[in-house]
Amino acid sequence: MKHGRFMVGLVGVAAVITYLVWTGVSTTMVYYLTPSELMERVEADPAFRDMGVKVSGKVVPDSYERVEGGDLLHRFVVHDLEDPTVTFPVEWRDALPDTFSDEVEVVVEGRLNTDGVFEATTLLTKCGSRYEAAPEDMAR
């Protein structure tokens, strides 16, 4: 199709969209790590703390405490799914999800600060297993 000027405009717009998508991914994507991986990376490169990351782990039993005061502040400790000895403390300033409890699988997004505390900006509990139950779970 020889549409000269028109094709230029079309290609231009397509280019802009491609640019937005490309840079969009690289600027907003977030590494999804396990606590062990997070610790490794921070040890290897302390500057890694500045990157926003997403970490999945489980809540260590009895680690939850609610800090009193007007603001909603919660603290708890998360351990690695594979290796329960690798842990880090998390601070979260918002309502807790209903499904939050000991040993529940959580996904936190945020930054590990210099004190070693993970300041979470997002907190999700995973309830994916709700949809498929193993036959053993059925009451006989």
Partner 1 sequence: MTVLGEFALWISLPVALWGMFLGFAGGRTQRGDLVLSAERSVYAVFLLHLVASIGVIAAFVGDRFEYWYVASYSNREMEIFYKITGLWAGQRGSLLFWALLLGLFSSVAVFQNRNKNREFMPYVAAVLQTVLAFFVVVLLFAQVNPFERLDFIPANGQGLNPQLQNYWMTIHPPTLYLGFTAFTVPFAFAVAALLNGRLDARWIVLTRKWILTSWLFLSIGIVFGMRWAYEELGWGGYWFWDPVENASLLPWLTATAFLHSIQIQEKRGMLKVWNMSLVLATFLLTIFATFLTRAGLIESVHTFAQNLTIAYIFLGFMGTMLALCTVLILYRLPQLQSENKIESFVSRESAFLFNNLMLVGAAFAVMWGTLFPLITEGVTGQQISVGPPFFNRVNIPIGLVLLALVGIGPVIAWRRATKKNLQRNFSTPFIVGLGTAVVLWFSGARHGLALTTWSISAFVLTIIAIEFWKGTRARARIEGEGLLKAFFHLVTRNRRRWGGYIVHVGIVIMFMGFAGAAYNVDTKHHVMPGDVVEVESPMGHTYELTYEGLSVSIGRGQRNLMWQMIASVSVQVDGRPTGILTPEKRSYVTAQQPMTEVGIRSTPIEDLYLILAAVDDTNAALSADASAQGIDLQVLVKPLVSFIWLGCLMLTLGTVIALWPSADRRRLESEAVDAAPATAGA
Residues within the interface to partner 1 (CB under 8 A)? 1-3, 5-6, 9-10, 13-14, 17, 20-21, 24-25, 27-33, 54, 70-72, 94-96, 98-101, 109, 126, 128, 130-133, 135, 137-140
Min. distance of Cβ 86 from partner 1 in angstroms?
A: 17
Contact 55, 33 (CB under 8 A): yes
Closest to partner 1 by CB, 8 vs 84, is: 8
Closest to partner 1 by CB, 103 vs 115, is: 103
Q: How far apart are CA 71 and CA 92, in angstroms?
A: 11
Min. distance of Cβ 139 from partner 1 in angstroms?
A: 5
Closest to partner 1 by CB, 24 vs 61, is: 24
Min. distance of Cβ 133 from partner 1 in angstroms?
A: 5
Closest to partner 1 by CB, 115 vs 136, is: 136
Residues ≥6 apart with Cβ < 8 Å to 86: 35, 36, 39, 79, 80
Residues ≥6 apart with Cβ < 8 Å to 55: 32, 33, 34, 35, 38, 78, 107, 108, 109, 118
Look-up of token digits 């703390």: 49
Among residues 104, 8, 1, the alpha carbon closest in space to that of 56 is found at: 104
Min. distance of Cβ 84 from partner 1 in angstroms?
A: 20
Min. distance of Cβ 112 from partner 1 in angstroms?
A: 16
Q: Which two tokens stand for residue 100?
A: 């939050």
